[in-house]
Structure 1
Amino acid sequence: MVLSGTSKDLALLRRFTPLNGMRPEALVALARRTRRLQAPKGRLLFSEGEEHKRTYYLLSGTVELLAEGEVVTLVGSGTPKSKVPLAHALPRPYSAVVVSDRIEYLLIDSEFLDVVVTWDQTGSYKVTELQGIEEDAAGADDWMTALLRTRAFHKVPPANIQAVFMRLERVEHRAGDIVIKQGEEGEYFYVVANGRCAVTRETPLTRSGVRLAELTMGDTFGEEALISDAPRNATVSMLTDGSLMRLSKKDFRQLLHEPLLNWIDYAQARQVTSSGGQWIDVRLPAEFEHYHADDALNIPAHSLRLKMKSLDRNRRYVVCCDTGRRSSACAYLLSERGFDVSVLRDGLGTTEIALKALAPQ
């Protein structure tokens, strides 16, 4: 069963880290891509060494984690270890097997989760900063979260996420306007901010077009124009007066290029910090508490701009998170302000620090 984003669903998600620190609009986007599933006793959830990008949160029951066939630890629902994803490092350090009569769990695409968390914590713009937006914040959040769910958005480097929103252009349309036409070259990707649109496709037998769908606030179209040069495969016209947010192919392709960052591996990071450098962990406090590098500063991504003045410009910093996505966005911000900063490649989630957090206590 896929969650729908109700208040009950959001309360369920807030039982877990880092979801408990996210804004409601980000949680709604996440809920709509989260499955609530069950598994019987003896079911193998994942195997040691797997690299499938899936995140598991345990809702009820008990799971055992095994390394080379030997039980390492048990994780029961409601315990501190169940508040974080099960053996989340990739490749998987352990296998997970159901040992209670059954379990209930949440399953989320890890890549999408990482994108939403990064957007939630680093997209610090205000709605009113975006071009021409006059509707209230809740309305704007609907189309923003819709944008997060598109394949095209996932190709944008984390440091450029905010720039995507800043380059969106608002366009007004009247009922009957044709926004894109089948067969024409695509130059823009669109998000419906308000109003309704019809999607139609011409066929040899129906030149007037067959209606395929109706789009409303938060729906997107024209994504193919950003990731390929294929002609439009349908026509989209306005059923009512409305507002669309659009992003040009040119802007999108510019934003695909990742800013120049100094990526280093864990061994190099330890050399930096042992020589006077400083870790900056940009995860939420609950994530930081679960595991972190020794002597690391915990400055959550959403607080970085406020805390930046307290940092020493003569010191070298290594920025980290669990995967490298949030930390790269934060490192770019620091480097733009003149700090000497590196980013931990692949994040702490693949290091011995994370593995120790799963060890028996």
Structure 2
Amino acid sequence: MAIDVNSEDGLIIRKLIPLGTLPCAQFSALCENTVIEGTRGGTLFKKGDTDPRLIYLLSGEVTLQAEGLIIEVIAAESEAARFALAHQIPRKIDAVANGVVRFLRLDADTVNNPTPLDYKEDNSYMVIEEPEDDPNDWMTALLKSPVFQRLPPANLQKILITLEEVCFDEGETIISQGDVGDYYYLIKSGYCLVSRKPSPNAKDIKLAQLGKGEAFGEDALLSGAPRNVTITALTNMVLLRLDEQHFSSLIKEPSLKFIDQAQMQEVLNQGAILLDVRSQDDYKAGHLPGTINAPFFSLRMQLKTLNREQPVVVVCDNGKVSEAAAFLLLRHRFNALILKGGMNGSAAKPEVKKVPESEHETAHFVIDDGIETLISSVDESRPQNRQEQSGQILSAADSGAPEDQLRLMKSENEALRRANLQLNDKCLKLEVEKEEVLRQYRILQKQMEKLTQMLGKAKGDQGVL
């Protein structure tokens, strides 16, 4: 009998790993062609069995044992039951039903080779929905992450086994800017604040607020650089952390994709974007033709300017910062590729475009408030300055003094560069302030709704009296 995707069994199957990442149509087809089996006691499989079908427990308990020694008891309500029971083929242990159990037998190809993540915006793609009556289901929220959707089921299982639970009190600092990277963190419950100091004596700039199912801490592990932000607990928090070694082998290696120079040229010919994530000064000193400069520290603010329809090839000096940038892009559903070894790598030594100071290319990124970060004037609020400087250059040219002309052009270019940096910084701060205002607005809106409900209830009580 076919399984109704909206039935209680269908909702349970949605949470099985990695079935919850299947497209809606494929998930529905699987339910239509799958039969739920049941048994009262007995053996589900024995050590040495080679049946390639994998077994998922839906209800009841199963004991995993070897030569009479109990290894583990799996209950259908446990997190372990989201994975296939002892999935290695041939079987290494026995699985014995404890009383009445219900289970699925599924083809291993369906389970281990789910459809790759589609990077197009499609709200109907994911079939996982967080139930309203299960607010603490952090794993469901975690599996919505595009990074975790790319991981093999075996890696997901190893991650959950390896994760270490740690707790932090409200106001406690979880990681500090400048620290050495040691762990990758997943939020099981609670909220935290991401902030950064542009300079040691500057005030903290609030960048984001993170909650259940979100992750942080990968930048330092990928780039090898110190922590670039501070994370502070806004509430009491429960976190799950993974050390650097396991992060690299279980998440980084299967997630990131590297290409050489020849492959890069091929994808560029097909319409990919070439993104240089080095600082503006390094970019100006030399860069690949056709690149867009988006320094890694500000990339989060510029994601909305990129097109998810186009692959993004990430470039830096040695590939390390590119790894962190590509991981960020993957988290936001971009198809990110990394130039192997970076611009200085032995595997790819592309011809670097050196440009005169007056001809530097700069990215044209548009922030949400409509202000373009590249402004072609020194100070738009004082147009007379631009006219005066332009007049000086024209005068120098007319007078036949090329050295004066070059000096004035360099002077104006440097002034433009400084103004552009200042405007970039201002736009970033405005974006952060906007996010904070929106957050406060949402909080006030919820409080207003509660007050309205309380007022309505009070009026109703008075009417009864």
If the length of structure 2 is used for normalisation, what is the TM-score?
0.30
**More RCO (CA 8 Å, sep 6+):** 1
Bigger radius of gyration: 2
Q: Which has the higher helix share?
A: 2
Q: Name the TM-score, length of structure 1 as normaliser.
A: 0.38
